[in-house]
Amino acid sequence: MYKDCWVDNKGIHIHFIEANADKKEEAPLVIIPGLSESAEDYIAIIEKLSPRHCIIITLRGRGKSDTPETGYTLYDHVSDIDAVVQHLKLRNFFLFGYSRSVSYVLQYALNNKTIIKGLIIGDYPAIHTQLPQGWVEFFSSLPPWRGKPLSERMSMTALHNIQKESSQVLFWDDLSSIECPVLIIRAGKQGAALSVEAAEQYTEKMPQANIVVFDESDHNLFEPHIDPLIQTMETFMDKCPAGK
């Protein structure tokens, strides 16, 4: 059904899971997990999306990908996406980013507008934030995410360098150059990372964007049930024009 794969990104081995590689009837979906997540966290999603061709990328410093001593900027992370896309020779695909990975997805889409069929933005504004001093301690103190403690998800080397090498990048003024269909999923409960105002800002810049609110979810869009996420994504992808 799916297989573990790796690609060499300038000496850094990036892990990804690929499912249904032989299925060409529908446009592929590339998933970029959230800050501390890895490809394994999204296996249930690609199983439910079967038989669509799906690729889940584990970014550097997480899961089975390498953990370099440095190299955790926005652009380093974007290069991980590009390495997998180039390796698989993907074109005309959907790209889904969740939480902080929305910034990686947006930068990648701005760099590669002609090959993106559609964007799915998971509960995050169009901002790559500069993480303040003390963020590592705060993030490390959070409860286990989706059943796994942080120590099993990523190394402290990666966590410290993500904070150290972060810098603020605002994407709002560039969004109007994205012309593909866009789905924005916003959590409706307290704890959402995408505010009502920021969601409206997305649609001001990208009038083609459609907002769906998950009233029963906080920032964790996968709870209390995963089916609304699957159905929302499938509906969006199925409705996108065949050519683009």
CA 200 to chain centre: 20
Contact 109, 78 (CB under 8 A): no
Per-residue pLDDT of the chain (244 residues; tens, 9 = 90+): 799 999 999 999 999 999 999 988 899 999 999 999 999 999 999 999 999 999 999 999 999 999 999 999 999 999 999 999 999 999 999 999 999 999 999 999 999 999 999 999 999 999 999 999 999 999 999 888 877 888 888 999 999 999 999 999 999 999 999 999 999 999 999 999 999 999 999 999 999 999 999 999 999 999 999 999 999 999 999 999 865 4
- Specify the pLDDT at position 226: 95
Hey, what long-range contacts does 203-206 have (CB within 8 A, 24 or more apart)?
205/126, 205/172, 205/173, 205/175, 205/176, 206/175, 206/176, 206/178, 206/182
Coil, helix or strand for 235?
helix
Contact 180, 243 (CB under 8 A): no
- Specify the pLDDT at position 148: 83
**CA within 13 Å, CB half, 53:** 14
Count of beta carbons in the 10 Å neighbourhood of residue 21: 14
Packing angle of the helix pair 74-88, 101-111 (nearest 10 deg): 60
Coil, helix or strand for 152?
helix
- Specify the pLDDT at position 64: 96
Residue with tokens 């910034």: 103
- Specify the pLDDT at position 243: 55
- How does strand 116-122 pair with strand 182-187? parallel
